[in-house]
Chain A
Amino acid sequence: MHLIEAQALNGLALGAILALVALGLTIVFGLLGFANFAHGALFMIGAYAGWIVYSDTNNFFLAIPAALIVTFIVGLVIERVLIRLYYQRPKEDQILVTYGLAIVLVEIVRAIFSGQTKLLTTPAWAAGIVQIGGIVYPQYRVAVMAIAAITLALIYLVLFRTRVGLIVRAGIDDAVIVNILGINVNRTFMLVFALGAAIAGLSGIVDAPLVAVNPDMGTDLLVQSFVVVVIGGVGSFFGAILGGIVAGEIMSLTTAFAPDYSSVMLYVAMAIVLILRPKGLLGVEGRA
C-alpha cells in the first residue's frame, strides 16, 4: 500500500532533521556532560544567518556555510564566556543558565529582525517532486536526508578517524589524564561545544525552507531533540541517529493515522525506553 510507505518515508525525512539536531546536543551532553538548553536558539541563529546570505545571494550553497560559521563562532564565544564556568556545576544550574541564555538570544534576534516571519523559499534546484516507487515526494526532503547523511558521515570521520577526534573522545573518558599528557583539554572542549553549536546551526538552515523562519522556531524543537537524545542514548553518535529515526517515524505515523495522539506518542516512547532501558537504546553507562 503506497500510503504507508510514503508515511514511512516522511518519518525518515523528519528523523533526519531530528537526528542532526540531536547530534549536536548529544555530543555536548555526552562528551562534555553539559545540558545545553540554548541548543534551540543556536538552531534558530543558524537559520537566520543562512537567511541573510540566501536573501542576498539566492544561493543556498552559500547559506549553509554561513550558518555553520556564524553558529560556530557564537558557540566559541558562549563557551569561553559562560559555559566554561558551569562544567563542574550541578545539572540544574547548567539548565538554568542555558535556558536564560536561550531567552536572551531569541529576544536579541527578535529585537534586530522583528517577530515577522522571514521569506525563505525552497532552493530552485530542489523545488520539484520526485517519483519514488509510485509515490510523489518533495525533492527538498530527499535533499535534507542527503545533507543529513553527509554531515553525519563527516562527523563520524572526524570523531572516529582523526587525531582530534581521538583527543575529544579521550578527554571525555578522562580529562585529567589527557591534561597530564600535555594536551590542552580546555581548548578541545571549546571546539567540541562550538561544533555542537555549528551542527545546530546547520540543522536550522536546512530546516528553514520547510517551516516559518521566526525567532521562536527553535523552542519547540528543543524539547523534541532532548527526547531523541534520551531515546537514542546520551553521548552515543549512533544513538542520535537511531533515536532521530525512531522519533521521526513515531511522529509521522501517528500524525497520519491518529493525529490526536501525535504529541503524546513521542513521550510515551521516551517513557517506555526509560523504563525498559534507562541508558537509551544505544547509550553507554557513565557520563550523564
Chain B
Amino acid sequence: MDVKRTEFLKTALGAGAGLSLAATASPWLSAAEAAVGNYPEGTSGSSIFVGLLCPSTGSYSADGEDEREGYFLALDDLNNGTGVMAKIPSLAGKKGLLGKTIVYKVADTETKPDPAVQRATEFITQNKAIMITGGVSSAVDIALEKLAQQQKVVYMVGASGSNDTTGKDCQRYAFRSQLDAYMVAQCLSPVLVKAYGKNRKAIYLTPDYSYGHSLTNSMRAVTEKLGWTTVADVVAPFPTSDYSSLLTNIANSNADVFINIEFGNDGISSTKQAAQFGIMKKMQLVIPNISTYLPDGLGAEIMQGVYGTQDWYYTLEDRYPLSKIFVEDFVKRWKNRPRWTAHIAYAQTAIWADAVARAKTFDPVAVIKTLEEGKPLELMLGPVYYRAGDHQQVRPCPVLRGKKPSEMKAKDDFFDLIEVVPGEKVMQPLAETSCTMPPYL
C-alpha cells in the first residue's frame, strides 16, 4: 500500500551504493577534476537541474504556493534573460547560466522534514541537482541543510526564521536570507516599547519547535531588557488546530500584550480563536513574524494596529527599484502581487546565480567561497550580502503595522511600513551564534 516507502528504500539503497562507488572512484577522479556532490557530473549536458522544495499541503501551504511562484518566475527570468535577473551586472545580456539552460522541478514538502528530505534526495541522486532550494519551516529547512552538507550540494534556504538555522545547525553548504529570530526581536522590540510604553506584561503563544522557541526567547531577551515583564510562555503542540485550552490560560492571565508566535494556518486558527476569547479586547496583539497570507485569513478588522515584521513587503517598491520590477513581472505572470516567500525564492535564486556567474563555475566549493566573500548585490531590498561566519544574510528589517480597514487602498494593502531598520545594526554577534561551520569537503 505504501508505494512511497518502497521508492524511498530503493532510492536510499541506490544513493548508498552510488555514494560508496563514488567514494571508491574518487582517487581516480581527482587526477582529472575533483568531484564534489553532483559537480561536474550534473553539468555535463546543455542544462543543469535545480530542485525546488515547496509545501503545497500542511500548515504552511499558502506560503509554499507563493514561494513556488517566486521560484518559477526567477528561473524563467534566468533562462530568458528577463526581469530582475537582467538587471544584475553579472547576468545581464545573457540567457541561462554559464551557457546552460536551467531545468527545474518542484516537490511537496508537506511542511514536514521527512518528505522534504526524501524528495530532495531524489532530486540530488536521480536528477543530479546542482542546487536545491526552498522549504518553509525551520524544521524542514534545518533537515534540508544537513542533507545538503552531507551530499555536497548547495542549498539556498527558503523560509526559515529560527536562529538555529545559521546557529547551532549552521552548514557550509547552506545560505539563509530571511531575518532570523534575533534580528526580528532587535528591530521590532524598540518600536513596540515606543508604541506601548515600558512597563508592559507580555504573554507568548509558542509553537513547540525550533522556530517557535527561537523567536519567543529572542523576543523575551530584548523586551525584558527594555523593561517589559513576561507573564508566561504558553507552548502549543505543533501543528494543531484547537487552541482553546491554551487561550483559556492566556485570557485569564493579567497580561496586557499578547505576542503570537504561531505561523501559517496555525497562526490564523490561533488568532481567530483568541479573538473569540475576547483576548484582543484587553490585550494588544503583536505578531513578530507575519506569515504571507495571515492578514487575508484573519481580515483587516483583526489585523489593524498589529505590529510585526515581514521579510519583505510590496510597498518597498517605492524605495528599491528592483522591487518595482519584481512586483510588476510577478503580477503580469501570476495576476496577484507577490508576498515575502516569493521574494525569498527570487532573491535566493538571484544571489546564487550571481555567485555562479562571478565564480565562472558550478563547482559548489567555488560558489560557496564567492558567496562568503560578501560582495553586496543590489536586489529587492537594496544591497545585500552573506556573512561568512554563519551564512546569514545581512539585509534590512521591515517593521509593519496593520492598517485600519478604511485606509486600505487595495484588497491586499494590509500594512503601513513603519520603519526599515538597517541590517548591520541588528545582526547577532558571530561569537554568540554557536555556529561552527563544517568543512568544504
Contact = CB atoms under 8 A, between A and B. Distances in A.
Interface of A: 2-3, 6-7, 10, 13-14, 96, 110, 114-119, 121-122, 127-129, 135-141, 209-217, 219-221, 251-253, 255-256, 259-260, 262-263
B248 interface: yes
Given A6-B252, A117-B268, A210-B269, A216 B58 contact: yes
Contact of B273 (A3, A6, A210, A252): A210
Interface in B232-264: 235-237, 240-242, 244-246, 248-249, 251-252
A263 B208 CA distance: 13
B273 A262 contact: no
A10 B65 CA distance: 34
Classify the interface of chain A: helix, strand, loop or mixed: helix
B297 interface: yes
A235 to B, nearest CB: 26
Contacts of B62: 115-117, 214
Interface stretch (B20-28, B76-84, B175-183, B274-282): B274-282
A115 B244 contact: no
B276 A127 contact: yes
Given A114-B65, A115-B62, A252-B244, A209 B272 contact: yes
A257 B255 CA distance: 20
B396 interface: no
A119 B297 contact: yes
Contacts of B273: 138, 210
A217 B264 CA distance: 13
Nearest to B292: A116
Contact of B276 (A110, A141, A251): A141
B244 A214 contact: no
A114 B58 CA distance: 14
Nearest to B265: A212
Contacts of B252: 2-3, 6, 135-136
B41 interface: no
Interface string B68-106: 000000000000000000000000000000000000000
Interface of B: 1, 56-58, 61-62, 64-65, 208, 235-237, 240-242, 244-246, 248-249, 251-252, 265-266, 268-269, 272-273, 275-278, 293, 296-299, 301-302
A215 B58 CA distance: 9
Nearest to B274: A138
Nearest to B66: A116
Given A117-B268, A256-B246, 15 more contacts: A2-B252, A7-B248, A10-B244, A10-B245, A10-B248, A13-B244, A116-B65, A116-B297, A122-B276, A211-B265, A211-B268, A212-B272, A212-B297, A255-B236, A255-B242
A216 B111 CA distance: 12
Given A122-B275, A212-B269, A256 B245 contact: yes
B246 to A, nearest CB: 6
A209 B236 CA distance: 20
Contacts of B235: 259
Contact of A7 (B58, B241, B245): B245
A280 to B, nearest CB: 23
Given A129-B278, A136-B251, A14 B297 contact: no
Contacts of B241: 210-212, 217, 220-221
A204 to B, nearest CB: 13
Given A136-B278, A263-B237, A3 B249 contact: yes
19 contacts: A6-B252, A115-B61, A115-B64, A116-B296, A116-B297, A117-B265, A118-B297, A119-B299, A121-B302, A138-B278, A211-B241, A211-B268, A211-B272, A212-B241, A212-B266, A212-B272, A219-B57, A220-B241, A252-B245
